[in-house]
Amino acid sequence: MLLWSPRSADAQPKTDIITLANGDHVTGEIKGLDRGRVQYSTDDIGTIYFEWDKIVSITSVNLFEVITSQGQRYVGSLAKAADRSMNVVAGAGVVTLALADVTTIRSIGKGFWGQFDGSLDLGFSYTKSSDIAQLNLNTTTIKRRPSFEGRLTGSGTLTRTAEQEDDDRGTLQLALFRYRGERLYYGANGGVETNESLGLKVRSQVGVTTGARWLNTNRAQLWTGAGISVNDEHRADSEPTQNVEAVMNMRTSYYAYDRPRTNLDFSFEYYPSLSDFGRQRLQLDTAVKREVWKDVFIAVTLFDTFDNRPPNAESAKNDVGVTLSFGWSY
39-75 per-position pLDDT tens digit: 888 877 778 888 898 999 999 998 888 988 888 888 8
Which domains can be identified in the chain, with CATH numbers?
9-111 (no CATH), 115-329 (2.40.230.20)
C-beta separation of 302 from 273 below 8 A: no
What is the pLDDT at residue 152?
Answer: 93
What is the pLDDT at residue 270?
Answer: 96
Q: Is the pLDDT of residue 84 over 70?
A: yes
265-310 per-position pLDDT tens digit: 999 999 999 999 999 999 999 989 888 887 788 888 888 999 998 8
C-beta separation of 155 from 303 below 8 A: yes
What is the pLDDT at residue 292?
Answer: 82
15-35 per-position pLDDT tens digit: 899 999 988 999 999 988 888
Q: Is the pLDDT of residue 5 over 50?
A: no
